[in-house]
Amino acid sequence: MGTDLQLPYDERVYDITIIGGGPVGLFTAFYAGIRDASTKIIDSLPQLGGQLSELYPEKFIYDVAGFPKIRAMDLVDQLIEQTGQYHPAVCLGEKVLNLIKREDGTFELHTDRKVHLSRSVIVTAGIGAFTPKSLPGDNVKEFEGNGIYYYIDDLKRFRNKRVLVVGGGDTAVDFALMLDGTAKAVTMIHRRDQFRAHEENVKSLFASGVDVKTFYELKAAYGNTALTGATIIENRSRRTEELEVDAIIGSLGFSASLGPILEWGLELVGNEIVVDSRMGTNIPGVYAAGDIVTYPGKIKLIATGFGEAPTAVNNAKTYLDPTSKLHPGHSSSRKE
């Protein structure tokens, strides 16, 4: 795709432009500030924080060093405060459609609103564009947004409600544990007796007040103007059971797509960008970090992305200035 001359240009050329304003993107911008790099963040969402802000603001995060647990939105707020020390430019509600490398090495990032210029790029776009997988069952579509939800953005909405959680991964278990003590009653169904969640979370689940039913699936939802019940089915005996519920929360994962990133010429494996030990891609000057990357032994945790961010930034810095140090020292030694 060639340059769209109809799009306005941001004439300033930044040292590092970060595609993705989730937690890893925010920490990348912070570390770029430590390296005295002019930095811009571009994100398609209307707010910073990625999935944590969009889908899980009330969810607790357990895999960030130094925090026994921290509410997702609190983590985002602290990351924004940390990053804000270096005043990166932030462009929200813009989707990067194309990435073009000029002959002089400058990158053009074409969004649906303008063209941005940068000397290097770090992609921290998480899992790309994400859409929750819809619940199966009769009448589900009828109650989506009116009794059937796919995330918890306000825990108070479920106070004194009878809630059914469907799923068996970390998010489903977290949702059930969050609701326990707030909702009037919480039932969780999972299609098998093995959970994909972390072992400690599963142990907490079975020690909680949540009614856990394994080998069950959702068959139907029903009600008049509002959801009042659900039919669940035991998938071995095919026996059905009726539950009185005020809300159903589906947590069956996401359908993810890299969208336009697929057309940028990056080496990909599935929906993931291949990087080397420098977090470099096959395009010189383009780096990546977080859940969007793959390499041997890759673990998809926020903590892992936080570790990858400084590697990407430091190598971008040496790409921009070969005389600069790859390892500049510890952040504790920087001047205030």
Side chain identity at 289, as an amino acid letter? Answer: A
Nearest CA to 57 among 66, 40, 45?
45
Q: Do 243 and 208 share a structural domain? A: yes
Tokens of 220: 């139907």
Residue 3 lies in a domain: no
Last residue of a domain, one of 237, 252, 267: 252
Residue 260 lies in a domain: yes
DSSP-derived pairing of the beta strands 162-166 and 247-250: parallel
Q: Do 174 and 118 share a structural domain? A: no
DSSP-derived pairing of the beta strands 9-19 and 162-166: unpaired
Residue matched to tokens 């929200």: 92
Residue matched to tokens 């395009």: 283
Residue 222 lies in a domain: yes
Taking every pair of C-alpha atoms in the chain, what is the biggest distance, in angstroms?
70
pLDDT tens readout for residues 277-319: 999 999 999 999 999 999 999 999 999 999 999 999 999 999 9
Check which CATH number belongs to the domain holding 196 and give it: 3.50.50.60
Contact 281, 273 (CB under 8 A): yes
pLDDT band for 195, please (50, 70, 90 cuts): very high
Residue 2 lies in a domain: no
Q: Do 155 and 122 share a structural domain? A: no
Last residue of a domain, one of 234, 252, 270: 252
Contact 14, 39 (CB under 8 A): yes
Last residue of a domain, one of 223, 252, 281: 252
Residue 179 lies in a domain: yes
Q: Do 79 and 14 share a structural domain? A: yes
Q: What is the pLDDT of residue 2?
A: 40
Residue 27 lies in a domain: yes
Contact 146, 227 (CB under 8 A): yes
Average pLDDT of every residue of the chain: 92
pLDDT tens readout for residues 50-94: 888 877 788 888 889 999 999 999 999 999 999 999 999 999 989
Q: Do 111 and 144 share a structural domain? A: no
Judged by average pLDDT, the poorest of 10-14, 29-33, 234-238, 316-320 is 10-14
Greater confidence (61 vs 25) lies with 25
Q: Do 230 and 215 share a structural domain? A: yes
Residue 235 lies in a domain: yes
Q: What is the pLDDT of residue 283?
A: 98
Give the residue numbers spanning the domain of 38.
9-130+255-333
pLDDT at 265 over 70: yes
Q: Do 111 and 189 share a structural domain? A: no
Q: What is the pLDDT of residue 334?
A: 55
Residue 1 lies in a domain: no
Question: What's the gap between Cα 273 and its chain centre?
Answer: 16
Q: What is the pLDDT of residue 55?
A: 75
Under 8 Å CB-to-CB from 148, ≥6 apart: which residues? 135, 140, 221, 227, 247, 248, 249, 250
pLDDT at 257 over 90: no
Q: What is the pLDDT of residue 129?
A: 67
Q: Do 260 and 118 share a structural domain? A: yes
pLDDT tens readout for residues 101-140: 999 999 999 999 999 999 999 999 987 766 788 999 999 9
Q: Do 122 and 18 share a structural domain? A: yes
Counting the structural domains of the chain, the total is 2
